[in-house]
Structure 1
């Protein structure tokens, strides 16, 4: 019996030792996943990058866990607990980056992997926070991914000295912060993409030693100081502005280094107007400039053709003058009749006639007629009595207008006369609200269909025709149920008007701060406020990631959030920020209330980005659940700025409860309130890289809504 007990005791001890050993093993395995100083998402991201590079010999680096910021890993720099820079130039790195090797960094500003032997393709998924990105001097192949369009904060992009092929992606629309672009010594081919014209901060561009061809017109308005295009296949004249660049290197091309002919000089052959904007599907094709060396026979042929063209042109002009003399009276009678009476059955044809006839004045004549236009209405008598010595409507401006925006039948070209009829001559009774771009008027056609017409004030801005049409084209492509829909435009007689589908005249600002009790009852419940916030967030989410490239709203405020009687939401002014360069600085609001919606980096240096929109959304959400103004001078100094006052109390539940709009009568779930406060806290972070994306905000609001479903 004693022997049996001794055996059982030994078995028990051994079993306990085995269990203890297993526990220690599990504990050791779990240690890498214990909380570290470095943000866990960044730890995961840097582990993944290390594995993709083949686990090279880098001090401190590991493929599993670790604490890069606290342990000072080689080449890693941090701000607080976030990895903001990885600089491993010339570190003998190899391997291949996978498509998601860089996707998980949350706050990475600088990534320098230059002068190594890394191969494969450039990942399609890149951290949107990047400001400096260098993969120069490696062995990357394939094409440059179009996803670079999401690097809206990028200032320095260097991919020189690789094996990149194919055409440059037409993906530079949103890279307005880009200062330096270096793509030299690759095998890139094709034209310079049209979207390069948006690189308004670019001072350095190196594309030498590639196989690029075509002309250089797309670069002529950029602020370049260092341009190297040597050893490519560019041809034609170099634009005059480029010849003034301090450091220009263009050897090894087929370029004519003389100043190109002025676009205002009449060409020898028929060619597009110099003001004609780019077509939808690419740049307008023009004949290449002639070679400076001519064969004698070719010269004689050209002269002969010139004589024939000159004689033929004289005959055509004579016939045209005769026809104009005969037809002008008839045309004027028809013009007057069409302006006096527009019948329902002929509305579409009248719009077409006005668009095809009235807007076809030459640019000079449009400017003269535009001087006769008053601020709030156009004198129809002046328009009807255009002097006979002016050309009948048949100008480049309207032809350009029609060609530019006839890609879809859903966007109409309205005449000034038609819009006057719709808006009662832009009367004060039809005025809905003002914005920094002009004034919104209520319009109604003869079928009682409603429109919202934005009349841009001529004294506030001077928007060139080509720029207006390009921006209108871009805005018309923004299609989302929570975003105001552009249905038409007008560019007659120097006017600049946009026509929107009617949604509502009531804004979120009207409801939150209205003294009218009936209006405020629209947002009587907590759950209705969350729903409004969610719908508005979906609009921003679409702008930031639902199209070809991110669109920054730049003025996301309650006055731009329209709400109907069923609490459906529509965000207005989307895409209109592109007009800001043409607006006088004096017209842009600098009042404390407007500035309260701006992110710190915007007020300090004017750096707009999708993350500055996120900050604005956070302020609006805070305003929505507190019912307070973003800036209130009547309050004590410490409480005047809503965001700064609330930021330190968003994680104090007692303070939160006191902060909620009294109009709610205390009817709100604490759990949902806490979730909303957390969203606000993350949105109004001082540093943009610490703010969430709008996609994350949408998901968080859905969870807050779920937590509210028991409270109505």
Structure 2
């Protein structure tokens, strides 16, 4: 008999232990949620919820957050719920966050709410009646939103213990009477929204609060707005006094006005406009950056093949080489009009003609004299010419093409009667003037005759004639290379 009793007791103990192990949620929490589910008419939106029993934490009831076996958060906002919240919420002692906003909940707010709430949001429902006194016992409460309901009556003087409250929203209700004196105890309050009610009296009780945002629009307030609040308060739609405010009592400290917060809850249009301007500014900056990059890439593509080419002079404003003004020498000049002469070695300064000797034809005389005339006609002087034994150096066509960027238009300095002059810059920084002779002047001449002509010209020295330093006769081109002299005013050269 004793054996049977012992076995029965053991089986009962195991059953109780199994139920305790399998259930993760505190029984009081589960029971309170069972009652809430029934009071909400057992909505299908609340998945996994049950009217009796169940395990909210273990079965992951919708909107329920747990810590261990205790329910800590209830978030059921915007689910279209109807009915009431039930009468056992006070048993949810570990719940710190309760949000059932934006539903269709009716009747009075339950008197018995979770006692240790830090965040309570019952806004945008159809609650009626007064603000429950149980809120006065929530010493940890930081956020309270009862806005957009149908609450009525006067506020009880019950806020002495809500010293940690930072945000209080009672807007868009039907609350009446004066503000309770216990509002002065809300020493942490930053945001207060009382608009669209029927409050009366003054708002002086709010003057010492550390508010950043205050909205008391569309009430029946009277008196004066405290100086401390004038810069942050929205006060339209009231019956403020138009007469000057009475002076403060003797010994009152000077008033320190608070600046309005740039973003206010309830002023979404203002903040959204600011964000719109920020986005526009960012878009403009990005567009400018893209344009700058495109211009830089395009400019690089348009630049010369050689990286050492930089046009530091403004070709359009300052010509680096003076083009020939005289058009007296043309391709139609008859060779017979140029006098032959014996040779440059026999030339003496001051004579009025010059030529080369030992040419085989008048055409050769024409070519030789033409180069010398080109020198002298540009400066309109024939005297003070001397003969030396200097020799012009040969330049390769490849180097000249590189130095002049393939005789680019941007390197063009001027154009004379027998060819064009280009600016050539070498990697070592040396700059030369390159005269590319029109091929029509040497249609039948070979490179040897051109070289002979060049060597004769290179022996000429004159103070007003640029020195010939080199030549090139390759690929059917005849080119003269001179020292480069930049044009400019006397002031520019001196300074």
TM-score for the superposition, normalised by structure 2: 0.46
Greater percentage in helix: 1
TM-score for the superposition, normalised by structure 1: 0.32
Q: Which is higher, the Rg of structure 1 or of structure 2? A: 2
